[in-house]
Structure 1
Amino acid sequence: MKVLITGTSRGIGRAAALKFLSEGALVIGLDTQKDTISGDSKVKNPENYSHFIADISDPLSLPEISGVEILINNAGIQTPAPVPEGEKDIRVNLLGTMSVTEKYAFQPKIKSVLFNASASALSGNEFPAYAASKAGMVGYMKNCAIRLANRFQATCNALCFGGVLTELNAPVINDRNLWQKIMDVTPLKRWASAKEAAEWIYFLTVTNTFCTGQAIEVSGGERNCTDLFVW
């Protein structure tokens, strides 16, 4: 099983890489940051991991990788600013992800493609450019699902996570007042761990062989209960 994951140096992407490595997969990581996996003594099957420094928003930086069976579009940014300062979110999260997908997914070995979207893609409840980038990703996913099914009988879905305990969300996780506001409207009274997110990613790309074209919300019930956005 040959798996390509973008954004593997930290957070959900790193957790996903560790999950696939633990299952014996060959994992290739793309990130703007250095490799944080190969030198970790706690990683299972580190010899199965390869790392490339690349910026998904720059198509010329993407390496030549053949025979990808599972593509996980995880890399992304979140700019806490209004438009136009937040336009980089569109370039990275949407246009960069499209470049990666067109380059690596549309070939005979592909079996599954997954997009790490966001609950904000469904609610719009985020910074404007970030929400737009993730909503655009869901629309693009549906287009890819049709093309991948017709040409290669591959699945293609998006996971729309709510809160996940990652470095990206540290500003609210570490603020007692903001964190309490979020917990007040989150039925499960917690956020998902990166490891839990990785389990969802594995399930939809490996265990699942029939569900396709879906944007699946995994938010602990938060989106169903409020329109509150805290940052």
Structure 2
Amino acid sequence: MPLLTDKVAIVTGASSGIGRAIALKLAAEGASVVIADTAEPPIEGGESTATLIEQASGTAMYIKTDIAQWNAVDALVAATVARFGRLDVMVNNAAIYTSTNLIETSPEQWSRVIGVNLTGFFYCCKRAVMQMRIQAPLNDVRGRIINISSQHGMVACPGDFPYSVSKGGIVQMTRQIAVDHADDLIVCNAIAPGKIITGKPGVANDPDALDYSRRRTPWPRLGAPSDVAGAALFLASDMASYVTGINLMVDGGWMAG
């Protein structure tokens, strides 16, 4: 039997990249998946995530969502529950970056990155927990939260001050929720990707940066979105019911080196 039969999941930032891979993986294992993003077309091109899921006989719907707005997050969860009856898995993945250091970062850039990457995660976690606390548990778990952090929540991301600070905050947010809401039977974990190759434009795919990442990563290849999706499936499933409050590294051994 698929691992997520009859489960309902929201994945933010799921139109492209890592979020898209997670949504496809959860749907392939039987979950009904809500794609929450600011735009539906994928950066990589091709069919939308929801269309791909439906073409594979899965169940999905897209809801335009800016997670930096509480009203949008509130409406997202309300629409999910109205359609599917509950919320079992909340995957917080949507994020932005500026590639600026402390001096270069303007107050507006700081506010925008923190507004999405930290405040947006706070809104999504809060609204998910509000829903999960009032629904019946399945296999002794009321719900699961998976926050996509980064190895740059543990080590500095050179020249990207607000992004690194936000990711460090997400790691601590994950621990706090796991401890505070264990009695509510809510599991909360984070996944910290290392260098993952996506269709994201800009400095992320700069040839020099990619060369450095290849030399720095012990495993003989860089990561793919499917690597993160596999970790998300594990944490979303009943295989991980006594795993809570962790920040799971998916980095090819980068942090071990």
State TM-score, norm by structure 2: 0.80
| 8 Å CA contact retained: 1:80, 1:86 | no
* Deviating more after overlay: 206-215 vs 180-189: 180-189
Corresponding position: 1:202 with 2:233: yes
Structure 1 position 43, deviation (Å):
4.3
Q: Secondary structure at the match of 2:150?
A: coil
Q: Secondary structure at the match of 2:145?
A: strand
For this pair of structures, how many residues does the alignment match? Answer: 222
> Residues 39 and 218 (structure 1 numbering): CA distance in 2 closer, same or farther, change over 3 Å?
closer
Q: Letter of the 1:94 partner, please give it.
A: L
Q: Secondary structure at the match of 1:123?
A: coil
Within-5 A mapping of 1:37-186: 37-40=49-52, 43-46=55-58, 48-62=59-73, 63=75, 64=78, 65-66=80-81, 67-82=86-101, 83-84=105-106, 85-106=109-130, 107-108=132-133, 109=135, 110-126=142-158, 127-151=160-184, 153-168=185-200, 171-173=203-205, 175-186=206-217
After superposition, what is the alpha-carbon deviation per residue over 1:116-164, rounded to whole angstroms, capped at 9, x for unaligned? 000010112341110110111111111111122112x121111111111
State how far apart, in whole Å, the 1-side matches of 2:208 and 2:177 are.
41
Name the residue aligned to 2:4. Answer: none
| 8 Å CA contact retained: 2:37, 2:64 | yes
Counterpart selection for 2:219 from 182, 188, 208: 188
State how far apart, in whole Å, the 2-side matches of 1:116 and 1:129 are.
16
Counterpart selection for 1:24 from 30, 45, 53: 30
Corresponding position: 1:14 with 2:28: no
State TM-score, norm by structure 1: 0.88
Name the residue aligned to 2:246. Answer: 214
> Residues 170 and 188 (structure 1 numbering): CA distance in 2 closer, same or farther, change over 3 Å?
farther
> Residues 41 and 3 (structure 1 numbering): CA distance in 2 closer, same or farther, change over 3 Å?
closer
| 8 Å CA contact retained: 2:53, 2:60 | no
Root-mean-square deviation (CA, aligned residues, Å) is: 1.9
Q: Secondary structure at the match of 1:39?
A: helix
Q: Which runs of 5+ in 1 are unaligned?
A: 226-231
| 8 Å CA contact retained: 2:195, 2:213 | no
State how far apart, in whole Å, the 2-side matches of 1:31 and 1:41 are.
16
| 8 Å CA contact retained: 2:35, 2:49 | no
Q: Letter of the 1:102 partner, please give it.
A: K
Structure 1 position 177, deviation (Å):
3.2
Q: Secondary structure at the match of 1:89?
A: helix
After superposition, what is the alpha-carbon deviation per residue over 1:50-98, rounded to whole angstroms, capped at 9, x for unaligned? 1100100011223223321111111111111233334321110000110
State how far apart, in whole Å, the 1-side matches of 2:60 and 2:21 are.
13
State how far apart, in whole Å, the 2-side matches of 1:101 and 1:154 are.
11
After superposition, what is the alpha-carbon deviation per residue over 1:187-206, rounded to whole angstroms, capped at 9, x for unaligned? 11322111111011000121
Structure 1 position 20, deviation (Å):
1.2
Identity %, equivalent residues: 24
| 8 Å CA contact retained: 2:67, 2:116 | yes
